[in-house]
A = this chain, B = another copy of it.
Amino acid sequence: MKPLETYTVGMVGLGLMGGAIALALRSEGIIRTPGRILAYDRNPDTLAAAQAEGVIDAGMISPEAMLGHCDLVFLCLTPRGILRFMESQMAAFPAGTLITDIAGTKGSIVAAMEHTLREDLDFIPGHPMAGGELGGFVHARTCRFHGKNYILTPLKRNKPENLAVLKTLIYRMGFRRITETSAQEHDRKIAFTSQLCHVIAAALIDCEADTEITRFGGGSFEDLTRIAMLNAPMWTELFIENRKELLRRIEQFEGSLDRLKSAIAQGAGQELEQRLQRVRERRAAMA
């Protein structure tokens, strides 16, 4: 088997996450000469900057030109972008290419790949649980992987040796914990830990127009709303893509909020204190 460090890796999309992965592959020495990091991005300036900084070996202006060289391809696009890319570029991958993606919802990608992926390709869907408020390649260095979670939702047909290679690479990028699960389970859990949190942060900002309110901030408001500086097109797509699970989670949350509201409205101190105490203990157990 070809040693991982000699792989030619192709990045499709060199935004915040694609850029951060390329940076990690390079700075951690995971890919070394004769291994190469190539990238395709619709913005030629991004490719030029990444090449000038030594993050990638070469920027490619067409995906076909790049894919032909690759052992491993990282699709760093939105879920719909990934589906469109696979549909249009399926023929351009060399036989045996290992493909993975970073999309924040997995259901539609897994369903499509189970049915339409070429038999001689291996696609392992993934989701690095990292990110940042400021998007784009220029902010890739702000996106840290050390200590973070990574989710894989393997297809039934994935080759064990490819799964092993990808997991080695993920750990070497700094991620602390890889969880393998189904796309359905991923989308259910992520609707809570990620999408619901972003909806809540957005709603908090949506209901207060006074930007001077931060004079009254002590840290909690800032912490709860940092993620409200979201990439609007990407999160719109993620929310709508996973809307069934997300709506269920929003409703669960509304139920909990309503119970707290009732206890406050009734001045039910004892009930409220007990509920807050349970919350405190549960959160401590999560830490």
Q: Is A225 an interface residue, CB under 8 A from the partner?
A: yes
Contact status of A239 and B272, CB under 8 A, knowing A216-B190, A229-B283, A261-B250: yes
**Cβ contacts under 8 Å, A217 to chain B:** 129, 149, 193
**Distance, CA A232 to CA B177, complexed state (A):** 32
Q: Which of A227-264 contact B (CB under 8 A)?
A: 227-230, 232-233, 235-237, 239-240, 243, 246-247, 249-250, 252-257, 259-261, 264
Decide if A149 touches B215 in the complex (CB within 8 Å).
Answer: yes
Decide if A200 touches B257 in the complex (CB within 8 Å).
Answer: yes
Query: How many copies of this chain?
Result: 2
Contact residues of A: prevailing secondary structure: helix
Decide if A149 touches B224 in the complex (CB within 8 Å).
Answer: no
Choose one: B131, B196, B280; the contact of A228 (CB below 8 Å).
B280
**Distance, CA A277 to CA B229, complexed state (A):** 8
Q: Is A36 an interface residue, CB under 8 A from the partner?
A: no
**Distance (whole angstroms) from the CB of A203 to the closest CB of chain B:** 4
Decide if B265 touches A205 in the complex (CB within 8 Å).
Answer: no
**Distance, CA A249 to CA B252, complexed state (A):** 20
**Cβ contacts under 8 Å, A129 to chain B:** 216-219
**Distance, CA A250 to CA B201, complexed state (A):** 14
Residues on A lying within 8 angstroms of B by beta carbon are: 129-131, 148-149, 151, 177, 179, 186, 189-190, 192-194, 196-209, 211, 213-221, 223-230, 232-233, 235-237, 239-240, 243, 246-247, 249-250, 252-257, 259-261, 264-265, 267, 269, 272-280, 282-287
A-B contacts, 24 of them at CB < 8 A, read A151-B215, A151-B216, A189-B215, A189-B216, A193-B214, A193-B216, A193-B217, A199-B261, A200-B204, A201-B220, A202-B256, A202-B276, A203-B253, A204-B256, A206-B259, A206-B275, A206-B278, A207-B253, A207-B255, A208-B252, A223-B227, A230-B276, A232-B279, A250-B261
